[in-house]
Amino acid sequence: MGSKLIAPSILAADFANLQRDIEMVNQSDADWFHIDVMDGHFVPNISYGMPVIKAIKKHAKKPLDVHLMIEKPERYIEEFKKVGADIITVHYESTVHLHRTLSLIENVGCKAGVVLNLTTPVSVLEDILPKCYMVLLMSINPGFGGQKFESMTYSRIKKLRKMINDQNLDTLIEIDGGVNDKNAKQLVDAGSDVLVAGSYIFQSSDQLQTIKNLKALIS
């Protein structure tokens, strides 16, 4: 895998100025939009759904990376594709027939990925890895932005990177939660490819510069 990617998490954007924040990401060195969908069941928070993603898609000039924190995500794959998802990731913990759910995502024309909660062993992915465009490792308990990064993530990345290399795959590793300038380089050195950052970017006074700095740190 060549260059490392930054995906600003729209969860931390200013929803009353969403178009402005989307344009900022368009103009920035960031690579994807990271979009968190929460249902109040799988995680104890509710974020936004299809109408908001459809509105984002109208202005976004970069791929939409849609992270589904919902129970039985297989019910909504077609609808997320329709409103503009390019990459769809589903939690290992949220869907009984993971292989079938990933096939559904592929069949609608999106790239498919699996997300693991903080303490779900990476070994559960051994057999499904060849079907994963990407694996997202949560580095916090999912549901809320602005939480503290959990350092167990580094060893989890290393284990997963070894599994990917051992199978000669080019599956991407994405990290989500508490990412900032203090851990970005170490995350990439451990073997990750895509960093999601919400609060660190959107709470900074110069968001374009913050993204530029983050990108420089991992290039």
Is 36 catalytic? The answer is yes
CA distance linking residue 113 with residue 201, whole number of Å: 24
Q: Which of 107, 210 has the CB closer to ligand 5RP? A: 210
Residue pair 182/216 in contact (Cβ under 8 Å)? The answer is: no
Total residues binding ligand 5RP (CB under 6 A) = 22
For residue 14, the minimal CB distance to ligand 5RP (Å) is: 14
Burial of 97 (C-beta count, 10 Å sphere; 0-12/13-18/19+):
exposed
For residue 107, the minimal CB distance to ligand 5RP (Å) is: 25
For residue 79, the minimal CB distance to ligand 5RP (Å) is: 20
Stretch that binds ligand 5RP, among 19-27, 101-109, 141-149, 207-215 (CB under 6 A): 141-149
Pick from 85, 143, 194, 215: which binds ligand 5RP (CB under 6 A)? 143
Is 14 catalytic? The answer is no
CA distance linking residue 54 with residue 35, whole number of Å: 11
For residue 166, the minimal CB distance to ligand 5RP (Å) is: 28
Pick from 22, 110, 179, 217: which binds ligand 5RP (CB under 6 A)? 179
Burial of 121 (C-beta count, 10 Å sphere; 0-12/13-18/19+):
exposed
39 to 58: interface string for ligand 5RP, x by CB under 6 A: --------------------
Q: In what order do the strands lie in the sheet with 111-116?
A: 5-8, 194-197, 172-176, 134-138, 111-116, 87-91, 64-69, 33-38
Cα angle: 197, vertex 204, 153; to 5 degrees: 30
114 binds ligand 5RP (CB under 6 A): no
CA distance linking residue 189 with residue 192, whole number of Å: 7
Q: Which of 73, 198 has the CB closer to ligand 5RP? A: 198
Burial 46-65 (b: 16+ CB within 10 A, else e): ebbbeebbebbbeebebbbb
H/E run at residue 91: strand 87-91
Catalytic residues: 36, 176
Binding residues for substrate: 9, 67, 143-146, 176-178, 198-199
Interaction site with ligand 5RP (CB under 6 A)? 9, 11-12, 34, 36, 67, 140, 142-147, 176-179, 196-200
Binding residues for a divalent metal cation: 34, 36, 67, 176
